[in-house]
Structure 1
Amino acid sequence: MSDRPRSDSPSDSAADSSTRSCPDSVPRSSADSGPPSSSASDAPPADTAAPSSAPAASPSDGFGRWLLRSDDTRAVACRDAASVVAVVGLVGLLLVAFSGVWPPLAAVESGSMEPNVDTGDLVFVTDSDRFVGSEAVGETGVVTRDAALSGDGTHLRFGEPGDVIVFAPDGDESETPVIHRAHFWVEEGENWVETKADDDALGDRTCAALHSCPAPHDGFVTKGDANSLYDQVEGQYADTTVVKSEWVTSKSVVRLPWLGQVRVALESLFAVTTSPPLAGSQLVASFG
């Protein structure tokens, strides 16, 4: 029995060689090959076109749409003008709601209330039932100068005691309204020259020399701050009888310096008056 190792037969060696050298002829399936690589050419084309803007509105699209959306200078000017009118209208409504009268502003034409109110000032006026002081006469809503002085002295208008009222002289609504201070209240038949008047504001007149004394009716005796005599002294300033409460259309509460000059200048330029009857409103106020 031989101890040498057993050697392979030639046939076995050839078979093994044949097995090792045989190429893998089986094709790989598409599933085994993995996902196909993508290329730039396979991607959908990008939309590089700029987005189209909405066509500009034109009058043919309708006047309203054109006016609201068009960039035409005429449409822009109309929108700007409408905005200004809307703002002015809103401010006007607020002023009317606050004051209770229309218009709520009056221009001053003379200097009889100086230095407290000057010619050309614009004054803000309110209804008589607004800003009523505790010393007001009855239901008139007006505090006279004498009543303010006899009270706590805090009811001031334009630096002086008492309300400054707007009234129609002699109740004539066709006349320019007057804005003067209410000095005191008198009752029908009262000899107010003896009971309440300041002698310096009478010009040495007696009751017999005045048509308004004794008082023909209940009402106010008035005077401009810059005037030396009462309005009820004939031939002086406003030249009116005792002012009935129903002749009073408003009270002046605030002044806007010089803003009234614009309206007065325009009125003078065009030689027209913008002052309608007092019953409707007062655009111009004389300080008599």
Structure 2
Amino acid sequence: MSSDSPPLSRLVAGDVLRTLLGVILLGAVLFAATGVWPPMVAVESQSMEPHLERGDLVVVSDESRFAGAAADEHGIVTVTASERYSRIGGQGDVIVYAPPSRHGSPIIHRAVFYVDAGENWYDEANESYVRGADSCDELLNCPAPHAGYITRGDNNGYYDQASGIAQPVKPEWVEAKAQFHVPYLGNLRLELQKRL
């Protein structure tokens, strides 16, 4: 090194500073585009296979952004309302939601249809996903205890509300909706979560 060159510590500090500024700038751009932080979630289970697999990284947005033509007042397109609209390999929006009683990571499942408080939603449901119920009286969360979305993981045999995973998902429980995914990239995030 010549005597005119800056010291190594100064070069390293400059590299670290540029890297941090780049990360901050990227974060700001992602937040501006998606309206949520963090703008990505890692899939932790097989409940959305084959469209989302454990370890996929999902880019999410505020539910009111990038809404389809059939979106409801909350910006969500349900499976039953979707008219040639699809996200993540299927009809309707995939939402990220967290009921207040949930401990741990939020749930990422597809919004199938919307129910009003007190609604008998058994007749609107696909009988394959109601866990053997033959009427509203035999179905969990029926009539609906409050208004919200009936949801289901693409790989799950039953609606979340029929299997006791959650009550109908209130719009305020929705944290984001999925836009697209990057296979396997979420494994890094899942590995970091385990170590922290």
TM-score, normalised to structure 1, is 0.64
Q: Show the counterpart of 2:182.
A: 256
1:184–1:220 contact (8 Å) kept in structure 2:
yes
Q: Show the counterpart of 1:241.
A: 167
2:122–2:139 contact (8 Å) kept in structure 1:
no
Q: Show the counterpart of 2:137.
A: 208
Give the letter for the 1:200 counterpart.
S
Give the letter for the 1:243 counterpart.
V
- Distance (whole Å) between structure 2 residues aligned to residue 227 and residue 258 of structure 1: 21
Give the letter for the 1:232 counterpart.
Q
Structure number with higher relative contact order (C-alpha < 8 Å, ≥ 6 residues apart): 2
1:185–1:221 contact (8 Å) kept in structure 2:
yes
Q: Show the counterpart of 1:197.
A: 125
Secondary structure in 2 matching 1:193: coil
1:203-230, Cα deviation, whole Å (9 max, x unpaired): 2113212331001111100000111110
The 5-angstrom pairing of residues 218-229 of structure 1 reads 218-229=147-158
Say whether residues 1:140 and 2:74 are aligned partners. Answer: yes
1:159 aligns with one of 77, 89, 92:
89
Which ranges of structure 1 fall in alignment gaps of 5 or more residues? 1-54, 57-69, 273-288
1:125-147, Cα deviation, whole Å (9 max, x unpaired): 1001101112112x110000010
- Distance (whole Å) between structure 1 residues aligned to residue 37 and residue 136 of structure 2: 38
What displacement does 1:256 show?
1.2
Secondary structure in 2 matching 1:145: coil
- Distance (whole Å) between structure 2 residues aligned to residue 91 and residue 258 of structure 1: 21
What displacement does 1:174 show?
4.3
Q: Show the counterpart of 2:48.
A: 113
- Distance (whole Å) between structure 2 residues aligned to residue 192 and residue 109 of structure 1: 29
Q: Show the counterpart of 2:98.
A: 168
TM-score, normalised to structure 2, is 0.93
- Distance (whole Å) between structure 1 residues aligned to residue 17 and residue 166 of structure 2: 44
Q: Show the counterpart of 1:231.
A: 160
- Distance (whole Å) between structure 2 residues aligned to residue 267 and residue 247 of structure 1: 23
Q: Show the counterpart of 1:188.
A: 117
1:265 aligns with one of 166, 191, 194:
191
Q: CA RMSD in A?
A: 1.5
Identical-pair percentage: 43
Greater helix fraction, Structure 1 or Structure 2: 1
- Distance (whole Å) between structure 2 residues aligned to residue 143 and residue 263 of structure 1: 28
- Distance (whole Å) between structure 2 residues aligned to residue 203 and residue 210 of structure 1: 8
1:101–1:127 contact (8 Å) kept in structure 2:
yes
Say whether residues 1:96 and 2:31 are aligned partners. Answer: yes
The 5-angstrom pairing of residues 272-287 of structure 1 reads 272=196
Give the letter for the 1:71 counterpart.
P
Give the letter for the 1:255 counterpart.
H
What displacement does 1:266 show?
2.2
What displacement does 1:258 show?
0.9
Secondary structure in 1 matching 2:23: helix
Give the letter for the 1:103 counterpart.
P
The ranges of structure 1 where at least 4 consecutive aligned residues each deviate by more than 6 angstroms after the TM superposition are none
1:210–1:234 contact (8 Å) kept in structure 2:
no
Secondary structure in 2 matching 1:147: coil
Number of aligned positions between the proteins: 193
What displacement does 1:116 show?
0.6
The 5-angstrom pairing of residues 78-97 of structure 1 reads 78-97=13-32
Give the letter for the 1:157 counterpart.
R
1:166–1:251 contact (8 Å) kept in structure 2:
yes
- Distance (whole Å) between structure 1 residues aligned to residue 102 and residue 158 of structure 2: 23
Greater strand fraction, Structure 1 or Structure 2: 2
